[in-house]
Amino acid sequence: MSTGKILVVDDQKSVLVALQLLLQDEFEEVIILSNPNSLLTTLERHTIDVVILDMNFSAGVNTGNEGIFWLNKILEQDPELSIILLTAYGDVELAVKAIKMGAVDFVLKPWDNRKLITTIKTAMQLRHSKQQVAKLEGENRSLTQVLNQSETQMIGRSKVMLDLNRIIQKVAVTDVNVLILGENGTGKELIAREIHAQSARRDAVLINVDMGAVSESLFESELFGHTKGAFTDAKTEKLGRFELASGGTLFLDEIGNLSLAMQAKLLSVLQTRQLIRLGDNQIREIDIRLVCATNRDLVQMVVDGEFREDLLYRINTIHIDVPPLRKRGEDIAVLAEFYLRKYAQKYNRSKLQFSNKTLDKLMQYAWPGNVRELQHTIEKAVILTDNNKLMADEFLFHQSTKREKEYKPASLADMEREQIALAMEHHSGNMSRIANELGVSRPTLYSKLKKYDL
């Protein structure tokens, strides 16, 4: 016996009895109705999988219009329900019309028992498939919402932040490409997520790609995808980030760190909105909203021959400058309080608060690492303090911009972090020059930047 509940609606009692006897040994439950006026109420009371619906109910009427009417009513109530229409008249045009309107199949009286049971079981499978698809779509929407949620909301009441929010609101409702510029730690990714959240694409996914961490050899595979066997380690087919983001937003972070060769490949796809996976020859259309970010001066890079001018124009329909924390000083206290509450809750320190001198000290510091540095500083203090009030002397900042000559014991990790920080300051964030000076590759440099929160 197959699981599932069948509802038979027909004005002829002989048909109802015959179908009930035929189907009761095949399915979990068979409900019969001789009057369609109670059809919708029955569907509300019972979980029905397949409806077998007669096309004509009034004596002397054989147009099939009654069946079409009730077909529409059923689908309005439950669009995923499988409906098989039953008629004694082989009207092909009516059959086509009914199927186009949502019926699963069309069966003529008198029916073949075996074929009818097969038709019902097929309709049952379709019903279950529709339910599964609906469930997966719901789960996917929920997952997409989770993925698209920012780690924090945009926080600040300074004039520069209010102006920034106004720009975001204007830009988000369009579909133009956006370039976000700002120092490390200012929240460029947060801006990208806010643009996506306020856009018409907010129900689709935002895909984030750290371009500084993508090696040149894997660039095409990561962004455009590949087919099975496209190269030695390509054991399965893989969708690239562009295809994954299609219908949503693609955020290319640290785009200033692409080589000229990678820039050329990226430009081609952005111009045509088409791509070809590695190892394939099929052209695939993509529909993305592009948002890019970098801490580098792309205009100067164009002058230096390090960045393509045509790519800059392509990604820079609108550019947004994210201010460093030192230029939005009145937001420091607001952000500090926010992170204090966040980490006090996380580490079960609900009574924690700042002393007045502590807030003064936090507001006087330049915060070269911007919001990210403030966030990690507050978290560290919450973890290490033994008091319910965070005192000023618990926050130690290195204010000097020059290297101190006297010896201070330090771990190798501390020394490496300091050297990288000094190189970043000296070369104004030019990752190619920093990597060359330190004798490491750009992916290695980016790995260390993430490790040390620089």
Q: What is the pLDDT of residue 6?
A: 92
- CATH value at residue 435: 1.10.10
407 domain-assigned: no
CATH code of 346's domain: 1.10.8.60
Shared domain for 74 and 167, answered yes or no, is: no
* Lowest-confidence segment of 66-70, 172-176, 345-349 by average pLDDT: 66-70
pTM greater than the 0.75 cutoff:
no
Q: What is the pLDDT of residue 403?
A: 39
Count of residues for the chain?
Answer: 454
The answer to whether residues 131 and 9 belong to one domain is yes
pLDDT digits (tens, 9 = 90+) for 25-73: 889 899 999 888 989 999 988 889 999 998 877 655 556 678 888 999 9
- The CA-based angle 10-11-16, given to 5 degrees, is 50
Domain CATH for 15: 3.40.50.2300
Q: Is residue 141 in a domain?
A: no
Domain final residue, candidates 321, 348, 376: 321
Are 90 and 48 members of one domain?
yes
Rg (CA), the chain: 32
Instruction: Please indicate, yes or no, whether residues 369 and 297 belong to a single structural domain of this protein.
Output: no
Number of domains in the chain: 4
Q: Note whether 277 and 365 are same-domain residues.
A: no
Alpha helices (H) in 322-407, listed in sequence order: 330-346, 356-364, 370-384
Q: Are residues 222 and 272 in the same domain?
A: yes
Indicate the pLDDT class of residue 141, thresholds 50, 70 and 90: low
Strands, E assignment, 297-425: 318-321, 353-354, 389-390
**Residue 82: C-alpha distances to residues 51, 73, 231, 416 (Å):** 6, 13, 45, 66
> Do residue 425 and residue 389 come from a single domain?
no
pLDDT for residue 319: 93
Whether residue 308 lies inside any domain: the answer is: yes
Structure tokens at 40: 């919708």
Separation of alpha carbons 382 and 340, rounded Å = 7
Residue 154 lies in a domain: yes
CA pair distance 117, 111, nearest whole angstrom: 10
Together in a domain, 173 and 214: yes
Spatial contact of 171 and 163, defined as CB atoms under 8 Å apart: no
pLDDT band at 138 (very low <50, low <70, confident <90, very high): low
Q: Which pLDDT belongs to residue 248?
A: 93
| Cα gap 278→292, rounded to integer Å | 24
Does one domain contain both 131 and 194? no
* End-to-end Cα, the chain, rounded Å: 65
pLDDT band at 398 (very low <50, low <70, confident <90, very high): low
Among candidate residues 110, 136, 162, the one where a domain is terminated: 136
**Are 241 and 302 in the same domain?**
yes
Is 338 among the domain residues? yes
Within the chain, what is the greatest distance between any pair of CA atoms? Answer: 107
The last residue of one of the domains, among 136, 164, 184, is 136
Q: Is residue 232 part of a domain?
A: yes
Flag whether 130 is in a domain: yes
- Statement to judge: residues 38 and 80 lie in one domain: yes
Does residue 80 sit in the same domain as residue 21? Answer: yes
Q: What is the pLDDT of residues 77-88, one digit of tens each?
A: 888 899 998 876
On whether residue 402 sits in a domain, the answer given is no
**Segments forming the whole domain that contains residue 154:** 149-321
Task: State residue 92's pLDDT score.
Answer: 64
Task: Say what the pLDDT of residue 51 is.
Answer: 93
Q: CA 340 → CA 86, 153, 365, 407, distances in Å? A: 68, 15, 17, 34
Of 294, 296, 212, 220, residue with least CA distance to 259: 212
Residue 157: give its domain's CATH number.
3.40.50.300
